[in-house]
Structure 1
Amino acid sequence: MAKLTGGGFTNLPPERPSLQAKLVRSHAAFARQEEGLFDDLFVLVLENADTGDIRGTCQIFTHVGQTWPFYSYRIGTVTKHSQALNRTFRAQILNLVNDLEGCSEVGGLFLHPNERAGGLGMLLARSRYLFIARHRARFADRILAELRGVIDEAGASPFWDGVAGRFFGMNFQEADVFNATHGNQFIADLMPKHPIYTAMLNEHARAVMGIPHPTGRAAMRMLENEGFVFEHYIDIFDGGPTMMARTDQVKTIRGAITSTVIGIGEADGAALISTGHLAEFRVAHGYARDTGEGVIVDAVTARLLNLQAGDEIVHVTR
C-alpha cells in the first residue's frame, strides 16, 4: 500500500526500514500500561475479516514535536500604511513556526484503491477517534491532521519548488524521503527564519497553498464533518492544509457512548462499535439497540468482535 500512495505521503513511506520502525514503535505504545501523555505512535489497520487481508491503515500520534521539532508555515498578514500615498498595503507572509508542538495528530490514513466504497474510509478514519475516546488520558487537548498538498503527475510539488526547494538543493521527492526517514531537523538547519512574502513566490506555488491533493478532498470533508477547521497552518513541504480541532469537541469523540452488552440479537441502529483496550482494541461497522439498561448487538458484529453479554463497548451512531 505504501507503494500505491503516489508519493508525498510522509507517514507511509515506501521504504521498508522506516515502516518497520513505525511498527516497532507502535508495538511499544500498545504495550505501555501506564496512563499519561507520552510520545507514542499507534498504527491501526483495516482487515477483511473473511480473507484476513489488510486493506487500509491509519495512524495516531499522541504528542507531536517531542523527538523532532514540528514545523509548520502559518499564513499571516502584514499591514503597512503610507501617508505620502494615502494608501494601506497588506502583504501575505509565511512564518516558520512550532505553534502546534504538543498536539496529538491523526494521519497516515490510506485505503487500498480497490476498497474505496461502502464507507470503509469512514470506518478507518473514525476508528481513530473511538480509540482516542477509549484512551483519552493518552492524548492532548488539541488534535491536528495534515492533508497532503498538490503534487503533479511527475511527483513534483509546486509549493516545494517555489519555496523550500530553492534553499535545499534537492527535489521534492528526495526531501520527502529524507524527512520520512530522518525527520525534519534539516529544515531548522537550512530554512531561513525570516518571513517569506508570498508575493515573491511564483503563481503555481501561491495557488496551491492550503489546497489538498485531489485524492484528499474526501478526507478533508470527513475532517470538517468531525469539527476540524483550517486555521491557516500549512505543510512546509507541499503546502497542504493542516486541520485543527479541540480533542473533546471532535464529533465522534463527543458522541461516543460507553455501554454494556446485555444480549446478542436483532438490532437496527447502524453504529461503529469498538471493544477492548490498547492491543485488544477492535472496531467494526455494526448494529446496536439501546434498551435503557444496556445494548443488544447484532450477531455478525458480535462474532467479529468476539462480544458476549457483560462486555463493555464504546459505540457511536454511524
Structure 2
Amino acid sequence: MTHQVRMACKNDVDALLELAALTAGGLTNFPHDRGVLAERVAWSEQSCGVIIDSPQDEFYLFVLEDTETGRIVGTSSIYSKIGVRWPFYSYKLSRISHVSNGTGRHFSTHILTLVNDFDGASEVGGLFLAPQARSAGLGQLLSRSRYLFISQHRERFGSTIVAEMRGWLDGAISPFWEAVGRKFFDSEFHAADLYNATQGNQFIADLMPKFPIYTALLPLDAQSAIGRPHVDAVPAKAMLEAEGFVYDGYVDIFDAGPTLHARIDQLRTITECRLVGDGLELPLPGRNQRLRARNSGLEFTVSLEALES
C-alpha cells in the first residue's frame, strides 16, 4: 500500500469522526465530536490561507491517507501558538524539603504547582493511527511530517514546541483525576477532558486549586501516575524523545501524563532534512527510505519513498 500525509480538508470530517471513535477518549486534541472536528478542519484551512510572518493563533491539521483506497488511517496536528485563546495550564513537579533542627528530622517530598510556563510555545498533538496502520514506518511518516512542515514554514512557529502525552489509566479510570481533579469538578474524567477539548479551559482557572499540591498526600496509585504515559502513548513518547523532546517534570492537569518540550531549531528532523527540488528530503538511516515533502504554497504532502541508488 502507498500512503501520504496531506493537509485535512472539509471532505475528511466524516472519516476523522470514524477515526476518533477508535481512540476511546483521552486525546484532548482529537475529540470524538463532529462539530469540533469540523471547526478544526475549517480552522486549519483558514490558517493555510493567510499570509503571516509570525505565529498568531493558527492550527494545522494533517491526515494520513491510503492513496490506493482513499481511506484516512491517521491524523496529527500543530498549534502555532498556545496560550492565545486561553492560558495553557500545566502542573510542574518539583522537590521541597523541610528540616526541623529541634527534632533532628528531615522531610523531602514533591509538590505540583499550577503554571503557564508554555504560553506562547507551539504544540504538536492529536497524533493517532488506526490499528491496521501501526506498521511499516507510518508512525514516523505521520509524526515527522509535522516537523518538515515547520521547517518549510519556519516563520509560522515559535522557538519552543511542546507535546502533551496521554496519561496513565487503570482500565478506564484515571487515578490522578480521581485523587485531584474530581474533588473540584465533580465529574468523570472523560467528561471533563471532553469539555476542555470542546469548550476551552477557563473552568480550570475558575475551579482548580491555586496552591501547590503535596504529592505525599495523594493515594499511591495517583502518585505513581504522575509523569507516566498511557500504554498506547509509549511509542509516541519514544518518537518524541528520539526527535529531541525532553521531559522535566511538567504534567497534564487532568491525568498527569508527561508534557515534553524541545527547541524547534534543535529538532532532529529539522537539522537533518535537506532542500531538494520543490521541497524537502529526510533520509531514514538503516531503512533505505526517505521522507519526501512536496510543497506548493501550503498544498503540503509527505510520502515515504525508497532511496535512489
On whether the aligned pair clears a TM of 0.5, the verdict is yes
- 2: distance between equivalents of 1:175 and 1:52? 34
Which one is further off, 155-164 or 85-94?
85-94
| 1:156–1:173 Cα contact (<8 Å) kept | no
- 2: distance between equivalents of 1:24 and 1:278? 18
Structure 1 unpaired stretches of 5+: 262-267, 290-297, 299-318
1:286 alignment partner AA = E
Q: 1:180 to 1:278 in 2, by over 3 A?
A: farther
**Which of 267, 276, 285 is the aligned partner of 2:304?**
285
Q: Quote the offset at 1:269 in angstroms.
A: 5.1
- 2: distance between equivalents of 1:207 and 1:272? 38
Q: Share of identical aligned residues, percent? A: 46
Match of 1:50 in 2: 68
Q: Secondary structure at the match of 1:170?
A: coil
Alignment of 1:53-64 (within 5 A): 53-64=71-82
1:248 alignment partner AA = D
Match of 1:183 in 2: 200
1:287 alignment partner AA = A
Q: Quote the offset at 1:254 in angstroms.
A: 1.1
The answer as to 2:235 corresponding to 1:236 is no
Alignment of 1:247-266 (within 5 A): 247-260=264-277
Q: 1:181 to 1:281 in 2, by over 3 A?
A: same
Q: Secondary structure at the match of 1:150?
A: coil
**Which of 217, 226, 238 is the aligned partner of 1:221?**
238
Q: Quote the offset at 1:288 in angstroms.
A: 4.5
The answer as to 2:156 corresponding to 1:138 is yes
**Which of 100, 114, 127 is the aligned partner of 1:96?**
114
- 1: distance between equivalents of 2:116 and 2:177? 19
Greater gyration radius? 1
Q: Secondary structure at the match of 2:82?
A: coil
Q: 1:229 to 1:277 in 2, by over 3 A?
A: farther
The answer as to 2:289 corresponding to 1:270 is yes
The answer as to 2:54 corresponding to 1:36 is yes
Q: Quote the offset at 1:34 in angstroms.
A: 2.5
| 1:73–1:96 Cα contact (<8 Å) kept | yes
| 1:55–1:115 Cα contact (<8 Å) kept | yes
**Which of 210, 219, 225 is the aligned partner of 2:227?**
210
Match of 1:25 in 2: 43
- 1: distance between equivalents of 2:181 and 2:296? 42
- 1: distance between equivalents of 2:43 and 2:91? 28
**Which of 200, 208, 214 is the aligned partner of 1:197?**
214
- 2: distance between equivalents of 1:119 and 1:250? 19
State the TM-score, normalizing by the size of structure 2: 0.89
- 1: distance between equivalents of 2:176 and 2:296? 41
Match of 1:108 in 2: 126
Alignment of 1:73-88 (within 5 A): 73-88=91-106
Q: Quote the offset at 1:184 in angstroms.
A: 1.0
Structure 2 unpaired stretches of 5+: 1-18, 279-286
Q: Secondary structure at the match of 2:93?
A: strand
State the TM-score, normalizing by the size of structure 1: 0.86
Q: 1:278 to 1:170 in 2, by over 3 A?
A: farther
Q: 1:277 to 1:242 in 2, by over 3 A?
A: farther
2:160 alignment partner AA = R
**Which of 70, 94, 98 is the aligned partner of 2:88?**
70
1:90-148 Cα distance to aligned partner (Å, 9 max, x none): 12100000001111011000001111110101100000010000101111100011100
Aligned residues: 283
The one of the two structures with greater contact order (alpha-carbon pairs below 8 A, sep at least 6) is 2
| 2:52–2:156 Cα contact (<8 Å) kept | no
